[in-house]
Amino acid sequence: MPGTRRVTSRRTETVKQEKESGTSLRVPVPIVGMRVTDVHLPPLPGEDALAKVRSALPSPPSLAFIAGLAVMGILSILEWPVVVVAVAGVTLTDRMARKQAHIQQQPEGPEGSASDAGDE
């Protein structure tokens, strides 16, 4: 392929000229690319149990706060009764916030009342 040789020779000549003149510095920079493919897997048998456990746990920010309280209790920065009351308060407010968000996400309308009547 004559076209590729010309480009390569031009690049080589340009590099040689730049090295001789000392006007520029070429730094090789590696380029790393990542291709992510979307893989769809069938649901696992215990996925429902995992969802139930996740719904019972506090949110990640609340867990971080609880862990911080636990560390302060272990290091005696806070007394353990204070830590217990604070953890109970965080847990209750987190559960109430989740319940409120779940209630707001449920659609209201005639379909919801018909399905409730059929369940009884």
Answer yes or no: are the C-beta atoms of 81 and 87 closer than 8 Å: no
The torsion region of residue 68 among left (phi > 0), alpha (psi -120 to 50) and beta comes to alpha
3-state helix, strand, coil in the chain (%, to 5): 70, 0, 30
Structure tokens at 102: 């779940």
pTM: 0.46
71-91 pLDDT, tens per residue?
Answer: 999 999 999 999 999 999 999
Structure tokens at 59: 């949110």
Lowest mean per-residue pLDDT among 30-34, 86-90, 115-119: 115-119
Residues for the chain: how many in total?
120
